[in-house]
Amino acid sequence: MLNTKSTIGKNIKNKRNKLGILQDKLSKLADVTYNTIIKIESGANTNPTIETMPKITKALNVGV
């Protein structure tokens, strides 16, 4: 059974792919490290910080 945290990375990756944005570009748009994006999307980081998520969602033009 998947929980909300395990779907965060999948949702980010899906939206990023729909927009045609590479992980490197998203990291720059969101002003977070490339490694952070990789860890979130891969599921290695299932609990991104309260500071990181708004930056990523703003860069993807979606709500938290």
| DSSP-assigned letter for residue 44 | S
Count of domains for the chain? 1
| Threshold 0.75, pTM exceeds | yes
At residue 35, does pLDDT exceed 60?
A: yes
Q: How far apart (Å, rounded) are the C-alpha atoms in residues 51 and 37? A: 13
Ramachandran assignment for 47, one of left (phi > 0), alpha (psi -120 to 50 degrees), beta (any other)? beta
Q: Mean pLDDT over residues 49-60, rounded?
A: 95
Contact yes or no for 62/15 (Cβ under 8 A): yes
Boundaries of domain holding 45:
4-60
High-pLDDT (> 70) share of the chain, %: 91
Burial class (CB in 10 A: 0-12, 13-18, 19+), 9: buried
Residue 14 belongs to a domain with what CATH number? 1.10.260.40
What pLDDT is recorded for position 1? 43
